[in-house]
A and B are shown apart, each in its own frame.
Chain A
Amino acid sequence: MIAFDYVRPNSAKAAVDAITKDASAQFIAGGSNLVDLMKHGVVAPQKLVDISRLPLNSIEQSGNNIRIGALCLNSEVAEHALIKEKLPLLAQALNAGASPQIRNMATVGGNMLQRTRCTYFYDLAMPCNKRQPGSGCGALKGYNRMHAIFGASNSCIAVHPSDMCVALAALDATVIVAGSKGERKISFVDFHRLPGDTPEKDTHLQKGELITAVEIPVNDGFAKHSLYTKVRDRASYAFALVSVAAALDLQNNTIQHVRLAAGGVAHKPWRLMAAEKYLKGKSPTESNFKAAAEAAMSAAKGYGYNDFKLTLLPNTIIHTLKTIAGV
């Protein structure tokens, strides 16, 4: 058997200490991704630091921010009254992910750090720079139907599979992390990274840092006009081919503020800044939405099997915006 140590510290500080001391130690929260990866032999931590019972599981509002503890379960967040009322986009995105059973295990922090679902990453007999740097990218010229159209590199065209993170990127969340040197804040859109030449790194988190919470600013306009659209191969329990999180702050038939992010299209949840910029100050019409979708796609690139995303994403952006605006 593959032996590993297991510890369950009872404070965040002790958890960080346990990890910092040990190069191959890893946090485990719900385990719904990590255990799979261990079974497949993709990762083999020698020590698991179980954080699932740390008291980082409250959801509260202070001032204009809602703070969600990193160990809140995906299902708790999705069903929480405050979230449903103030951040319906986040609740929708969470409910679009996985299955009720998995959402009952999965935590907010674990969801952010789930690894890609690229099959070349999972199959040890295949090349994958993310799993084994320097071995090549199996997907680049292989079966890449699920893969990235934005920000990919020749080293890696994998996507980040999370639904929740697309909503958090759209909502301008901030990630709060604790490390051996104390706490720091990372803006959500800068939390995950692009693959470049080092696809083995998914995020800007430093070794030993523990995610303790995410903070999300509240905007009542967005709460009224937001929608998460997930397009997938079956009605439930499938990862997104593409997804779109959109929120509009509409006043006097004018888009005051807009947030747009896409999932299933990049190594990170992808904020569609160009489209946002285009829409700001304009009226919510189908032709404006079409132009915004076009702006969103300017840097997109297909790799063969995923070329359809070049059509599917703009269609989904337009559909989502039209639905929100009721046009």
Chain B
Amino acid sequence: MGKFFERPLVPDDLDRVEGKEKVTGTASYAAEYDVPGVHYGVLVNSSIAKGKISTLNTREAERSPGVVAVVTHLNRPKIPFWDNPPEQQDNKRVEGQEFRVFFDDTIYFDRQPIALVIADTFERATYAASLVKATYKKESPSTNIKNNLDKALTAKQAQDYSRGDKDALKSAPVKIEAQYTTPFQVHNPMETHAATVVWDAPDKVTVYNKTQATKIAQQDIMRTFGLKAENVIVHSPYVGGAFGSSSRVWPEEMAALIGAKKSGKPVKVMLRRDEAFNMVGYRPTSVQRISIGAQSDGTMTGINHEAFGSTSQYEKFAERIVDPTKALYNCANVSTSYRLVPLDMSTPCWTRGPGETSGSFALESAVDELSYALKMDPLELRLKNFAEKDPDNGKPWSSNYLKECYESGAKKFGWKNRNPQPKSMQKDGWLLGMGMAAGIYHAGRSPATVSATLRSNGTLLVQTSVADTGPGSATIMTQIAAEAMSIDVRKVEFQWGHSTLPPAPGQFGSQTTASTGSGVYDAVKALQKKIAGMLSGKQGWAFSGLPVEDISFADEMIVDKNGDKVSYDDALKELSVKEIKAEFESKPTEEREQYSGYSFAAHFVEVLVHPETKMVKMNRVVCAVDAGRVINKKTAASQVYGSMVWGTGIALMEEGILDHRYGRYVNNDFANYHIPVNADICHVDVLFTDKPDPILDPMGAKGLGEIGLVGFAAAVANAVYHATGKRVRDLPITLDKLL
């Protein structure tokens, strides 16, 4: 099969390297570090969504047993970067002014932290927090996107886009036009956000947190407190899910940092579930209008996609909501616009498939609607408009096996058995619907630095600061290192998730394997070169004076052209060194610029809808995915299962609901914010094309973390339409919308 991992040294279904620690409970998460003298910080949150704090009474809380400090905007320590901000601020995470906890008396969002109560036990801190009393000067909040479209702004990274003729679709013989909406969705990782902070010295701090990027956390903390990089140590090896919600530093870290500074104690802050809804990011709500025109043979002649997404009043968070529309179909005339609607909420943030997930719901629903208008099979319509090269910039694809995904997915699913007529199929007295949709997600790669060290006990140590928030990156890095080095995978020790390790990009954008994986590969190659150079430089033995190209690494041996061999440990002995280390910064090649890199997916979904109660049941799913070469079959399939589960939630039940009169969440718990339970999930077949991408990185892998979610909700909505004849354009598809 020409696999990257052919050799038995590196199985392509390696179990998670950190699996045992996780399932036996020895893996420490952010709130679980045993820090001597640790105190517990509990937040007090505002009961209004907009206005000013008039009075804040902390006296009773301060007198409560066990309390060591109550921090508010009135008594917090000075924070250099906030109190004396530099004129020029670069490196902002989001355009605008980041949220500064306990900064002043302004309330920007509901349940904004207004105080941190620190006590010797969690229970005492919780009780004392209930004694803090605030009064407010309330203003009326705006949290409803639909009522505020007229206040929309343009963000720097979200410029209008147009190719070809904007008006082309006006004259199209077949045309559809519709508005779609998606609600707030909250990441809700199993582990809520937490931070444990120890100030080792006035200018030196250790932070145990939950982050997708220890380096970003380190930078933001050092900048805020005016510290040296080496004096900010961030540990986050184990992360209980993040999905984008740990891509920047949030109030729990800042509150713990400020609280620990103020109290002189190590402080731990862990958010409750209800606090994790409007403080640590979420997927913004969207309103989208799409029109598509086509000739009667199905050739798309024009697409227009206008999107509005919500943001906060203090930052302009823009995602990639119209990106799939630019690249998925071979259509000459495409225009998109994207506006941000500021609401009295906290700033949204990257959320798995950020933008693409909401945008593809609209696009792929609209394409389905077009197929009915054309009386054409939706799969055939997609094939008809398949883009042989990137229609956005004319570049060739680095690789694109979407057609193969369509074909293998349709075959496995039995798409040909579908009666095209809506409401025509039944099973066990339920209405049966089949729907499909496509997904596209850009394949990114960023610079990553990795060090590789061959040690005298014959093991290979590989280090980089990358996070593993759950996808299995540590396992994949271990496999890549073993393969590149030609060493038994059990002899590789991979260290990650600490800011003290060489810099790697954050774990987001589905680029960890391509970026850090390449870094691992290149670091190992650099190490091999260094070893070869040392062997050749040593006098008086087989390898002396050989050009390094003639020295290779195979089957855990160093070999020269003449067949002379030496094992790794013997090589170190010969060289009289304990270890040999190489560090390498790996970057995308220039060749890459000439290509357009994307992952692709085709989703096929079968639903059952109860004819009277309209309850919707997922019955069968096939996801066919082109994510380049699959490095680990297990973790790869798990990524797609996870996408399908979240996609089911997005399609059928997830919705952050606010009472707009108060700008306040009314369903910020798991009883009311529904995510799928086991009984909601059906059988899923995951098919990988498993063909290497020749351009993007040495392994031939493309991103896999998000592609499974792109288009999925539309496939469900399209299946529901096929079952019922009812088009639901406002997610989630709860049964009341089908009655």
Contact = CB atoms under 8 A, between A and B. Distances in A.
Contacts of A120: 666
Contacts of B739: 308, 311-312, 315
B676 interface: yes
Given A41-B130, A142-B666, A143-B659, A315 B734 contact: no
A126 B664 contact: yes
Given A143-B657, A234-B674, A319 B617 contact: no
B679 interface: yes
A316 B612 contact: yes
Interface in B660-682: 661-662, 664, 666-667, 671-672, 674, 676-680
Interface string B536-566: 0000000000000000000000000000000
Interface in B88-137: 123-124, 127, 130
A316 B679 contact: no
B653 interface: yes
Interface stretch (A13-21, A46-54, A214-222, A236-244): A236-244
A236 B677 contact: yes
B677 A234 contact: yes
A233 B127 contact: no
B612 A233 contact: no
A235 B736 contact: no
Nearest to B111: A125
A318 interface: yes
B435 to A, nearest CB: 19
Contacts of B666: 119-120, 123, 142-143
B47 interface: yes
Interface string B646-660: 000000110001010
B676 A312 contact: no
Contact of B612 (A138, A234, A315): A315
B613 A315 contact: yes
Nearest to A313: B613
B674 A229 contact: no
B677 A235 contact: yes
Contact of A234 (B653, B659, B662): B653
Interface in A87-133: 117, 119-120, 123, 125-126
A237 B124 contact: no
Contacts of A237: 677, 679
Given A1-B123, A231-B615, A308 B736 contact: yes
B interface SS class: loop
B661 A142 contact: yes
Contacts of B74: none
Given A143-B666, A312-B739, A235 B613 contact: no
B735 interface: yes
Contact of B613 (A1, A125, A312): A312
Contacts of B124: 1
A2 interface: yes
Given A1-B127, A143-B666, A308-B736, A319 B612 contact: yes
B659 A138 contact: yes
A117 to B, nearest CB: 7
A293 to B, nearest CB: 10
Nearest to A305: B736
Contacts of A126: 659, 662, 664
Contact of B736 (A119, A125, A234, A312): A312
Contacts of A145: 736
Given A143-B657, A231-B615, A234-B653, A117 B676 contact: no
B683 to A, nearest CB: 14
Most buried by B among A233, A239, A311: A233
Interface string B264-276: 0000000000000
B653 A233 contact: yes
A234 B733 CA distance: 11
Given A117-B671, A231-B613, A125 B653 contact: no
A232 B613 CA distance: 9
Contacts of B662: 125-126
Interface residues of A, number: 32
Given A119-B672, A312-B613, A316-B613, A236 B734 contact: no
A241 B130 CA distance: 33
Interface residues of B, number: 33
A323 to B, nearest CB: 9
Contacts of B615: 231-232
Contacts of A119: 666-667, 672
Most buried by B among A141, A142, A318: A142
A236 B661 CA distance: 31
Interface string A151-174: 000000000000000000000000
Contacts of A41: 130
A136 to B, nearest CB: 12
A169 to B, nearest CB: 21
A236 B680 CA distance: 8
A162 B739 CA distance: 24
Nearest to A242: B613
B608 to A, nearest CB: 11
A239 B739 CA distance: 19
A211 B662 CA distance: 39
A216 B417 CA distance: 51
Contacts of B617: 235
Nearest to B671: A117
B679 A236 contact: yes
Nearest to A306: B736
Interface in A278-323: 308, 311-312, 315-316, 318-319
B674 A235 contact: no
Most buried by A among B123, B657, B666: B666
A1 B64 CA distance: 9
A125 B674 contact: no
Nearest to A231: B613
Contacts of A233: 653, 674, 734-735
Nearest to A237: B677
Contacts of B130: 41
Nearest to A142: B659
B653 A241 contact: no
Given A119-B667, A143-B657, A241 B735 contact: yes
Contacts of A239: 671
B735 A231 contact: yes
A1 B121 CA distance: 10
A228 to B, nearest CB: 13
Contacts of B664: 123, 125-126
Contacts of A123: 664, 666
Given A239-B671, A312-B739, A2 B677 contact: no
A91 B667 CA distance: 30
A59 B155 CA distance: 67
B430 to A, nearest CB: 12
A131 to B, nearest CB: 15
Contacts of A232: 615
Contacts of A234: 652-653, 674, 676-677, 679-680
Interface in B719-739: 734-736, 739
Contacts of A231: 613, 615, 735
Nearest to A98: B671
- A-B pairs, top 9 by smallest CB distance, nearest first, are A308-B736, A235-B679, A125-B47, A319-B612, A236-B679, A315-B612, A119-B666, A231-B613, A311-B739
Given A1-B123, A143-B666, 6 more contacts: A1-B127, A123-B666, A125-B664, A142-B661, A308-B736, A311-B739
29 contacts: A1-B65, A1-B123, A1-B124, A117-B671, A117-B672, A119-B667, A119-B672, A123-B666, A125-B664, A126-B664, A138-B659, A143-B657, A231-B613, A231-B735, A232-B615, A233-B734, A235-B617, A235-B680, A236-B677, A238-B671, A241-B735, A308-B736, A312-B613, A312-B735, A312-B736, A312-B739, A315-B613, A316-B612, A318-B612
Interface of B: 47, 65, 123-124, 127, 130, 610, 612-615, 617, 652-653, 657, 659, 661-662, 664, 666-667, 671-672, 674, 676-680, 734-736, 739
